[in-house]
Amino acid sequence: MNFKQKVINTIKMKGSAVCVGLDVELGKLPQILKNEKDPVLKFNKEIIAATKEYSAAYKPNLAFYEQFGTKGFEYFEKTLELMGDDVLKIADAKRGDIGNTSKKYAKAFFETFNCDAVTVSPYMGEDSVTPFLEREDKGVFILALTSNKGSFDFQMQKMPDGRYLYEIVIEKISSWNINKNCGLVVGATHPQMFEGIRHLAPDMPYLIPGIGAQGGDLENTVKYGFVKDEVLALVNSSRGIIFASDGPDFAERAGEEAKKLRDMINSYM
């Protein structure tokens, strides 16, 4: 089964297009966890248990684990195990380097950690991305139009032919999508661009950050970014779900926010 079909099947089975971003910050953990031996793992365990019913995917950002050194990679690996096998496991690593280096990154995330997908930067071109595309069952969400303000520095620059740079990037990515395992990272802070992007990449899954703390437009994201018959988008929320409360009810509140986001997405569809 190729990655595109895996996304479709998982969203359909879960009845949800929610992706929970596990970007754990020690300073934001509930006081009730401060005396835990491994507060990060305890936090992730409780969050996953509370949100799994309402989520199709989880996306741990590697920076929040690498900061702890070797211990962080242990947290990352054990967090992946906590997710189980009925959700998509997306490593938000934003890798992308010369071919031989990318091969090692692909081996790390797809073989050592057994993630379903990884985020990749296309800035260095085709040979930096293709090592991630060799396995059709593993997905690569490639940065196309990101949700941060800095997206205007390069991605939103107009080229001499009138197109935006991100449109040229998407066109190039489409030519790499032989195994139907390319996806795009498209920020919900650019909802006015979604219709045009769907025209450029009608059959690619999207990973959509920017909902919640970044103020993305969920209704227009669903209206223009989703493919109705075969839902091809995962809407990510990190802080808005996992840090919904810093009290003893942190897990319960996270579950409520995940359910709320799922229900909102489904109602807009």
Supply 145's token pair. 């139009």
Supply 264's token pair. 């909102």
Residue 41 burial by Cβ neighbours in a 10 Å radius (0-12, 13-18, 19+): middle
Give catalytic status of residue 42 as yes or no. no
Pick the catalytic residue from 42, 45, 78, 94: 94
Supply 29's token pair. 């953990």
Cα–Cα distances in angstroms (integers) from residue 24 to residues 34, 72, 137, 207, in the given order? 14, 11, 28, 19
Q: Which active-site residues does the annotation give?
A: 94
